[in-house]
Amino acid sequence: MQDTKVALVTGGARGIGFGIAIELARAGFTLVISGRRTAEQVVPALDEIRAHAPQSIYIPADVASADDRTHLLRSIEASFGRLDVLVNNAGIAPRVRADLLDATEESFDELILTNLKGPYFLTQSVAVWMIRQQAADQNTRRTIVNISSISATVASTNRGDYCISKAGIAMATQLWAARLAENHIGVYEVRPGIIASDMTAGVRAKYDALIEQGLLLDKRWGMPEDIGKAVGVLVSGELAYATGQVLILDGGLTLQRL
């Protein structure tokens, strides 16, 4: 087993996931990033991560697939023999934003499978492994962080499937925090607001206008590095007495105001 701590960031080659991966690499973790793209497609991102953490690797894996999840964890164990941090970041938006009266079961199933069921059962497998590691090494803190969204509580009637999937992740965080506390494994939720990424590129003009009109207290787009820095604090162990808590990074969007 290597001495350097190992962190898995699903969907870690772009967007918020990449921001998280870079921050953890700078903090001294060896990174495993996973996703649905080919190894060739993630070379630039992996090269940047390796500039800080040379042993980092990419493993193609779709969290929606049970076989891929098994392959992912077996590959990490074969390569490093340990896993200290799991960041459940991979997720998708609906292919079509549809009103609740028109939304399809196919879209609902796809969103729930990728955004909720996949991370839930990946966490289950990782938790079992982390408990084994904890029994052999009680001095190392292990952490699980779920990246959800303000859509866990803010209703968008043209993407109900997405909102429900993120609300499920919020409850999953509480469940796993309650279950794993006895094993000294911290579980947290980070809830981003409007973040500049490929997922939000298509609605850039809409949110530019809303931000200018006062939607946020901090009148700017959130950046992937904002989320990365927050995750870095959570996995550092500095907030060990806060397992199960939610860290909202939304520029003040959900703050109630008169």
Rounded distance, CA 187 to CA 176, Å?
7
Residue 256 counted as domain residue: no
Residue 255 counted as domain residue: no
Does the pLDDT at position 2 exceed 80? no
Q: How confident is the model at residue 258 (pLDDT cuts 50, 70, 90)?
A: confident
Which tens digits make up the pLDDT trace of 70-99? Answer: 999 999 999 999 999 999 999 999 999 999
Does the pLDDT at position 189 exceed 60? yes
CA distance to 29, 39, 49, 93, 229, per residue, from 42 (Å): 19, 5, 11, 20, 22
Residue 258 counted as domain residue: no
Question: Tokens 């929606």 correspond to what residue?
Answer: 64
Q: What is the pLDDT of residue 219?
A: 95
Q: What is the pLDDT of residue 199?
A: 78
Q: How confident is the model at residue 1 (pLDDT cuts 50, 70, 90)?
A: low
- SS3 assignment, position 115: helix
Question: Of 162, 188, 207, 241, which residue is the catalytic one?
Answer: 162
Residue 165 counted as domain residue: yes
Residue 1 counted as domain residue: no
Domain that holds residue 216: 6-249
φ and ψ at residue 34, rounded to 5 degrees: -130, 165
Q: What is the pLDDT of residue 65?
A: 98
The domain that holds 37 is classified in CATH as 3.40.50.720
Active site residue 162: yes
Do residues 152 and 205 make contact, with C-beta atoms less than 8 angstroms apart?
A: no
Whole-number CA gyration radius for the chain: 18
Residue 257 counted as domain residue: no
Rounded distance, CA 58 to CA 40, Å?
10
State the amino acid at position 218 in one-letter form. Answer: D
Do residues 26 and 52 make contact, with C-beta atoms less than 8 angstroms apart?
A: yes
- CA-closest candidate to residue 143, choices 6, 4, 1: 6
**Average pLDDT value for the chain:** 96
- CA-closest candidate to residue 198, choices 23, 32, 37: 37
What is the pTM for the complete model shown? Answer: 0.96
Say what percent of the chain tops pLDDT 70.
100
**Number of separate domains in the chain:** 1
Which tens digits make up the pLDDT trace of 197-222? Answer: 887 877 889 999 999 999 999 999 99
Residue 195 counted as domain residue: yes
- SS3 assignment, position 235: helix
Helices (H), the chain: 15-26, 43-50, 66-80, 105-112, 118-136, 160-180, 204-212, 224-235
Does the pLDDT at position 27 exceed 60? yes
Which tens digits make up the pLDDT trace of 133-161? Answer: 999 998 899 999 999 999 999 999 999 99
Does the pLDDT at position 3 exceed 70? yes
Which tens digits make up the pLDDT trace of 41-65? Answer: 999 999 999 999 999 999 999 999 9
Say what percent of the chain tops pLDDT 90.
93
